[in-house]
Amino acid sequence: MSIAKLLKNPHFWLFTILILGAGFLINSVDVDSLSAQTQVVGEGTPHFLAKWVGEAVIPTYVIAPASASRQVGETQQFIGWYDPDGPSGSQAQQNKTTSASWISSDTSVATISSGLAACVSSGSVIITSVYSGITATASLTCSPAPLSCSFSANPTSIILPQSSILSWSCQYAKTCAIDQSIGPVSAISGTYEARPSKTTTYTLTCQGLGSSSKSYQTTVNVGFIPRIREIIPR
């Protein structure tokens, strides 16, 4: 084939452009530092290729706080933060809490909806949230709530054969009992009509949801009507 015909052949020019382009790319690579730049950028793009294709943009999604502790009966708000261009990007984080999905690893310990977790019993759970295909996790520890009771007598002073009403109300109690031969009573609230024959102190002892127990006391004072004897002098 003559040179004139070769120059008129479009395939020749296409081949020439490809060869020149490949030579330009090869010359652009810093061969001496190539081995030191093989770490991955973004979606598997080596640094030396990033010179041509640009560094990959990797969005991130995290939960804040990453861990939390609450007592039974309390709630914890988790926030889902989405970063469209990653931590090193220029775009600000976006709150996607209500748009993300939320799951608790054990709903008998804690439930969660729109990032708001509620402790229903003692234990630990993993909170998982998913947004835009990215999964983030956080931990939540639920501890037993402190036992609290009120215990009183009304009235606190009686004259036989009067009686006094013992009243109590508790939060986060598992079992309760009153001494003076009364025995087990409701761990939530209740009343008892006491008829002591003498001044008596009653003790309410309750076991909490954990291993703790507390005692509460109230006293009923008992008085007597004095008997008057008429003495007639002789």
pLDDT tens track for 8-30: 666 655 666 666 655 555 455 45
The DSSP 8-state label assigned to residue 20 in this structure reads: H
- Domain tally, the chain: 2
Instruction: Give the domain-ending residue among 122, 143, 164.
Output: 143
Look at residue 210 and tell me whether its pLDDT is greater than 60: yes
Q: What is the CATH number of the domain that holds 88?
A: 2.60.40.1080
pLDDT at 55: 60
| Threshold 0.75, pTM exceeds | no
Instruction: Give the domain-ending residue among 96, 120, 143.
Output: 143
Q: Among residues of the chain, what percentage have pLDDT more than 70?
A: 75
Cα–Cα distances (Å) from 99 to 80, 115, 129, 134, in that order, read 9, 10, 10, 13
- CA-to-CA distance for 153 and 164, rounded, in angstroms? 6
Instruction: Give the domain-ending residue among 113, 143, 173.
Output: 143
Q: What is the CATH number of the domain that holds 172?
A: 2.60.40.2470
Q: Which whole number is the average pLDDT over 28-46?
A: 42
Query: 122: domain range?
Result: 60-143
- CA-to-CA distance for 47 and 182, rounded, in angstroms? 80
- Residue 233 lies inside a defined structural domain of this protein: no
pLDDT tens track for 63-80: 999 999 999 999 999 999
CB 153 within 8 A of CB 194: yes
Q: Which whole number is the average pLDDT over 210-218?
A: 91
- CA-to-CA distance for 123 and 141, rounded, in angstroms? 6
Same domain, 94 and 125: yes
Buried b (16+ CB within 10 A) or exposed e, 88-117: eeeeebeebbeebebebeeeebbbbeebeb
Of residues 44 and 27, more confidently modeled: 27
The DSSP 8-state label assigned to residue 179 in this structure reads: T
- Residue 22 lies inside a defined structural domain of this protein: no
- CA-to-CA distance for 164 and 192, rounded, in angstroms? 8
